[in-house]
Structure 1
Amino acid sequence: MEELSYQMEEMEHQFVEKIADNMRTFGVSETIGRVLGVIYMNREPMTLDQLSEATGMSKMRMSQVVREMIELNIAEKVFKKGVRKDLINVERDYYQTFIALFTSSWRKSVSKGRMFEQHLRQQLQSINENRPHDEKLDDISEEKMNELLKEIKLWFDYYNWISRLIEFFESGEIFKYVPKYIEKK
């Protein structure tokens, strides 16, 4: 009986390590993957103390990891009556975890891209406004400015497309076209 228990624990450990490896593939640290796996395999929310003990990490480091997980929308603090400490729970649906990881990084990219686009627009506007009104742009400068304006428009369209893609994933619409499960015949 003890051997069976050991084997089951070992299999759970392998599962946690596979989740950690998957997270690395998705561009997320293995540490986050391990913590996600530990909570997932525990089947119940866990406190920072429990997580620290289960992973061997300090409580301070565990707090940082949990904060990152919450920012990635793959974990949340939950309340349980009679428990005074914060409990951390994770999404149990692999598909939702996948969507949360990717849309989180896409959102950051969209935000940075839009700020860059706005900055370039302001620079071009400043160039136009700050030159003397009687000073005409030479043909080369005017052509470059028009090319930059076209690029900014393409940039804007691209980030709008990513925003629509985020909505497509987060709304679950993706599953109409790429179903979660395929029935075997």
Structure 2
Amino acid sequence: MAGEQGEKKDWEKYEETIEKFIQVIAKNMNLYGMTPSVGRLYGVLYFSDEPMTLDGMRDALEMSKTSMSTGVRVLSEMKMVESTFKKGIRKDLYQSEEDWYKSFTSLFGNRWRQHTETNIEEAEEAVEELELLVEKTTDEQLIDKITKDIEKLRYAQNYYKWLMEFISVVESGKIFEFIPKRPQNKK
């Protein structure tokens, strides 16, 4: 009996420790534009020994099937979760992408590329509008201010172009030539 109680406490401590780490994952998901619930979903899948169905995830997280389905779709789009099949099981099964480096490069590239492309377009539109205004106005102070601001916008455009190159280095995996993946620690 005493041995069983000790083992039960060990399992409880294990579950508490894993749950704490899943909470860390959930909190960090906002860095990638995702909600904590999506982070918890990923954490549960990551620590699951077997692929899970939406029903299994819903039971583990006490979330609605709709929320679960939306979370899985978001994680799939970010290549953090993939569907899988198991003979004899008709429901869709999902498992986490275990290569966090791959997930990061996909997630980082996807998020940053969208925003950077928008910033490049917005900067170009601002330059075009300011150039039209320079042609139209006779106010020398305004012309001087616009000229300086166009220089700042050109600087911003160069930065965004550099950022696009950086994003390409991350997405292509070339980043690992400069900063190699860390080998898995096995104690």
TM-score normalized with structure 1 length: 0.76
The equivalent position to 1:104 in structure 2, one of 89, 96, 110, is 110
Matching of residue 165 in structure 1 with residue 176 in structure 2: no
Aligned length: 179
Query: Which residue matches 1:60?
Result: 66
CA shift, 1:40, in A, is 1.0
What do residues 22-48 of structure 1 show as CA deviations (whole Å, max 9, x unaligned)? Answer: 435666432121111111111443222
Structure-2 change in CA distance of 1:57 and 1:168 (3 Å): same
Distance of 1:110 and 1:79 partners within structure 2: 37
**Which segment is superposed worse, 104-113 or 73-82?**
73-82
Structure-2 change in CA distance of 1:16 and 1:119 (3 Å): same
Structure-2 change in CA distance of 1:18 and 1:145 (3 Å): closer
Q: Which amino acid aligns with 1:33?
A: G
List gaps (5 residues or longer) in structure 1. none
Matching of residue 117 in structure 1 with residue 155 in structure 2: no
Q: Which amino acid aligns with 2:121?
A: M
List gaps (5 residues or longer) in structure 2. none
CA shift, 1:128, in A, is 5.7
SS at match of 1:89: strand
Distance of 1:15 and 1:138 partners within structure 2: 61
CA shift, 1:163, in A, is 1.0
Contact 1:47 1:88 in 2 (8 A): yes
CA shift, 1:93, in A, is 1.2
Q: How does 1:25-174 map to 2 (within 5 A)?
A: 28-78=34-84, 83-127=89-133, 131=136, 137-174=138-175
Structure-2 change in CA distance of 1:166 and 1:80 (3 Å): farther
The equivalent position to 1:23 in structure 2, one of 29, 38, 47, is 29
Contact 1:79 1:86 in 2 (8 A): yes
Distance of 2:87 and 2:132 partners within structure 1: 58
Give the superposed CA RMSD. 3.1
Structure-2 change in CA distance of 1:125 and 1:82 (3 Å): farther
Structure-2 change in CA distance of 1:153 and 1:73 (3 Å): farther
**Which segment is superposed worse, 161-170 or 12-21?**
12-21
Distance of 1:36 and 1:143 partners within structure 2: 53
Contact 1:73 1:104 in 2 (8 A): no
Q: Which amino acid aligns with 2:61?
A: T
What do residues 60-119 of structure 1 show as CA deviations (whole Å, max 9, x unaligned)? Answer: 111222232234332334455654433333220122233333333312320321231233
Contact 2:105 2:173 in 1 (8 A): no
